[in-house]
Amino acid sequence: MRARQRYNRRGPLVRSLTAATTALAVAAVVAGCSSSGSTTATSSPSATAGAASFPVTVAAANGKVTVRSAPKRIVSLSPTATEDLYAVGAGKQVVAVDSDSNYPSSAPVTKLSGLTPNVEAIIKYSPDLVVASADSAGLVAQLTKVGVPVLIEPAATKLDDAYQQIQQIGTATGHAAQAQQTVTSMKSAIAADVAKAGTAHKGLTYYWEVSANPYYSVTSQTFIGQIVSLFGLKNIADAADKASDGGYPQLSQEYLVTAKPQLILLSDNSAADGGQSPAIVAERPGWSGIPAVKNSQIVGLDDDIASRWGPRLPQLVAQIEQALEKAPAQ
């Protein structure tokens, strides 16, 4: 399933996309995420603010989930959830993570899959809490039958979603205070880099590359598009978006050459995601007249950081700010 979400595997977009199925797959992901913006977390009447008091009830994307006691054996089926768990201080409670969770390096990586979860394999780890990004293959119903609470924390559609998920995971694992500290720190770091960039590049046009051959991008309505919009940049993909694209349009080479982006941001530069690089982009036939190519304004991003919505978001914002330092002022 090449046209599926990096938001469920690596993060917000697809590792490698195909023209025939990408728009439908991404649209399904976006629809599945719509509930995450209104999620809340509550605790029992006896709980005090910041205290690790149980039971707690978290209103996640799959409804209200009650965690009756502090979980000691957590299984994560989402790379972003894994990062969230460690960021809030629940790392020692994690006994298994999915095969795509590669950060932090100390996480207990297994062969478990978040895209096609095997409930029997999950149960072998005797979990008392499972966190996933999607309710795939009836995951929630099957684990609920055996008394295992499941939190579905889908791909974020806006920054507040990312913050809320961290807070929910903190509450569900007994680390509400550290989760709040993590969110506060993220907000502060992001605000600082946006302020550092100032308004000198407002209106600068950019192209965010998800994949090449075919060329897929993101629009301003997507999570990534909103992150870049913090800097006041103009997304050349917006004009090409159709309702069926779900914010992830396929662009032709002719469109890209005509749009003349002044900055190109590559999120497909790892071997797993296509192995694109500034040098490879500069050699693409017909691209020499694009301002970003002419002026060497092509930036290879850390594709892991660029494809997740967890505690390392400030690092993505910092990478964009650093790219702007070398870009021409408007």
pLDDT score of 51: 52
Output 212 or 244, whichever has higher pLDDT: 212
How many whole angstroms separate alpha carbon 107 and alpha carbon 97? 7
Q: Does an H or E element contain 66, and which?
A: strand 63-67
**The pLDDT value given to residue 329:** 86
Neighbours of 249 (CB within 10 A): 23
Q: Over range 319-324, report the average pLDDT.
A: 96
Residue 63 has pLDDT above 70, yes or no: yes
Position 68 pLDDT exceeds 60? yes
Only one residue has tokens 């790219």, namely 323
pLDDT band, very low/low/confident/very high, at 25 (cuts 50, 70, 90): very low
CA 16 to CA 137: how far, in whole Å? 23
Please state, for a pLDDT cut of 70, what percent of the chain lies above it.
85
CA dihedral 77, 80, 82, 84 (to 10 degrees): -140
pLDDT tops 50 at residue 164: yes
In the chain, the amino acid numbered 82 is: T
Stronger pLDDT, 41 or 250, i.e. the higher one: 250
Task: Give the pLDDT mean for 155-160.
Answer: 96
Which of these, 195, 212, 207, 255, lies nearest to 234 by C-alpha position? 207
Nearest to 157 by CA among 202, 223, 84: 223
What pLDDT does residue 31 have?
Answer: 32
Q: Which structure tokens are listed for 205?
A: 């046009």
- pLDDT confidence of residue 263: 98
Tokens of 235: 């997304």
Q: Is the pLDDT at 34 greater than 50, yes or no?
A: no
Q: State the Cα–Cα distance between residues 214 and 18, nearest whole angstrom.
A: 7
> Which amino acid is residue 312, in one-letter code?
R
Instruction: Find the distance separating the first CA and the last CA of the chain, reported in whole Å.
Output: 41
32, pLDDT greater than 70: no
Q: Write down the pLDDT at residue 243.
A: 85
Reference 79, options 155, 17, 3, 159; nearest CA is 155
Give me the residues paired with residue 113 across strands. none
pLDDT of residue 26 exceeding 50: no
Q: 283: helix, coil or strand? A: coil
Rounded to an integer, what distance in angstroms lies between the CA atom of residue 263 and that of residue 323? 9
- Residue 226, token pair as written in the block: 């909103």
Indicate the DSSP class of residue 18: -
**Residues 102-136: tens digit of each pLDDT:** 999 999 999 999 999 999 999 999 999 999 999 99
- Please list the alpha-helical segments (H only) found in 34-118: 79-87
Q: 198-325 has which fold?
A: Rossmann fold (3.40.50)
Strands 150-152 and 129-132, sheet pairing:
parallel
pLDDT digits (tens, 9 = 90+) for 238-281: 999 998 889 999 999 999 999 999 999 999 988 777 799 999 99
Average pLDDT, the chain: 87
Q: Where are the domains of the chain?
A: 39-190, 198-325
CATH class of 39-190: alpha beta
